[in-house]
């Protein structure tokens, strides 16, 4: 199997795009897709300071690396949730990448900051839900305190199509109205949030980190074993296996028609500042401060 752009051996077959690419042309394709996604959705410019949420996994490190290679001002944020050996290994992978790349890394240790790790926080919510609340809060706090312009996350096409399927099956109109590659801030303490990898698949980000020799965490978070998103992802993978391009078409066509859900403003109503942390919420205390209490 030869590369469609040269005579070299192809190392990947991107069937939904009908592309067979060698190493060099795949990296070129990956970088070009990220650049075009940033431009198309007006995510940020070379002048902006970007805070990349990094977990130690393939997607977030791929994003941090490609933004650096493309000349953007990107710093990393690692949120240590205190999940035993998983967090220790993840933290070391991120620190190693930061040191080898010469990039600024901010580490936010939940136990050190608040006296409790994720495992010690008692909440009525499921662990994955609690984790999401903590991460979103800490990203906002760090971006605000360090005066970043944008928060970037490594969500890929598999992630976005899976969440979209889940939201549509439940008709979560609030979530559908916000599921866009760019989430504009609606409060002075919040920053724009963007997903530059949203049009690249998990397979493509995995190939990228292998070719770039980026050391990353292979195993999944131990709490994600029973997560509903994994089941939804398996459903999407089954559909994709039979009908190539379903994930890409499903997500991109949704984005073309997202205005159908844009009239819903319920989630912005009655915003106030949390009595403890001062960040926006529609209650006296934000979700983060409520689970800590």
| Average pLDDT of the segment spanning 133-146 | 95
Report the C-alpha gap between 52 and 151 in whole angstroms: 6
For residue 6, tell me if it sits in a domain.
no
For residue 232, tell me if it sits in a domain.
yes
Helix (H) or strand (E) holding 78: strand 73-80
Beta-carbon contacts of residue 131 (< 8 Å; ≥ 6 apart): 81, 118, 221, 223
pLDDT band at 76 (very low <50, low <70, confident <90, very high): very high
Reported pTM: 0.92
| Average pLDDT of the segment spanning 264-276 | 72
Terminal CA-CA length for the chain: 59
Distances in Å between the Cα of 280 and the Cα atoms of 3, 41, 184, 190, 270 are 50, 25, 14, 8, 10
| Average pLDDT of the segment spanning 124-130 | 74
Per the CB < 8 A criterion, the answer to whether 216 and 290 are in contact is no
Domain boundaries, position 138: 32-292
State the pLDDT at residue 129.
82
For residue 19, tell me if it sits in a domain.
no
SS3 state of residue 272? strand
For residue 21, tell me if it sits in a domain.
no
Closest CA to 87 of 65, 110, 69: 110
CATH number, domain of 257, equals 3.40.50.620
Q: What is the pLDDT of residues 158-201, one digit of tens each?
A: 999 999 999 999 999 989 999 999 999 988 899 999 999 999 99
Of 23-27, 31-35, 171-175, 204-208, the poorest mean pLDDT is in 171-175
pLDDT exceeds 70 at position 122: no
For residue 16, tell me if it sits in a domain.
no
Q: What is the pLDDT of residues 15-30, one digit of tens each?
A: 999 999 999 999 999 9
pLDDT band at 224 (very low <50, low <70, confident <90, very high): confident
Report the C-alpha gap between 174 and 179 in whole angstroms: 9
State the pLDDT at residue 219.
87
Number of folded domains that form the chain: 1
For residue 186, tell me if it sits in a domain.
yes
**Mean predicted lDDT score pLDDT of the chain:** 92
Distance, C-alpha 201 to centroid of its chain: 13
Q: What is the pLDDT of residues 229-252, one digit of tens each?
A: 888 999 999 999 999 999 999 999
For residue 24, tell me if it sits in a domain.
no
pLDDT exceeds 70 at position 264: no
State the pLDDT at residue 265.
57
For residue 55, tell me if it sits in a domain.
yes
Strand partners for 183: 193
């Amino acid at each position: 199997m030869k590369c469609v752009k040269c005579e070299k051996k192809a190392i990947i077959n991107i069937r939904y795009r009908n592309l067979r690419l060698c190493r060099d042309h795949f990296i070129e394709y990956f970088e070009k897709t990220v650049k075009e996604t940033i431009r198309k959705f007006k995510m940020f410019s070379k002048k902006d300071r970007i805070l990349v949420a990094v977990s130690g996994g393939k997607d977030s490190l791929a994003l941090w690396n490609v933004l650096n290679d493309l000349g953007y001002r990107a710093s990393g944020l690692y949120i240590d949730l205190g999940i035993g050996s998983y967090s220790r290994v993840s933290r070391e992978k991120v620190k190693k990448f930061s040191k080898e790349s010469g990039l600024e890394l901010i580490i936010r240790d939940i136990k050190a900051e608040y006296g409790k790790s994720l495992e010690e926080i008692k909440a009525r919510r499921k662990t994955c839900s609690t984790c999401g609340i903590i991460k979103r809060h800490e990203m906002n706090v760090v971006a605000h305190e360090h005066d970043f312009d944008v928060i970037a996350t490594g969500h890929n096409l598999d992630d976005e199509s899976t969440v979209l399927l889940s939201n549509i099956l439940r008709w979560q109109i609030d979530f559908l109205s916000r599921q866009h590659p760019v989430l504009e801030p609606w409060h002075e303490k919040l920053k724009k949030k963007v997903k530059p990898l949203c049009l690249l698949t998990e397979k493509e980000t995995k190939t990228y980190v292998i070719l770039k020799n980026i050391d990353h965490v292979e195993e999944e978070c131990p709490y994600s074993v029973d997560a509903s998103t994994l089941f939804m992802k398996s459903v999407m993978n089954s559909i994709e296996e039979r009908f190539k391009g379903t994930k890409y078409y499903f997500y991109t066509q949704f984005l073309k028609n997202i205005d159908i859900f844009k009239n819903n403003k319920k989630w912005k109503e009655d915003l106030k500042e949390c009595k403890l942390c001062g960040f926006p919420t529609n209650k006296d205390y934000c979700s983060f401060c409520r689970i800590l209490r």
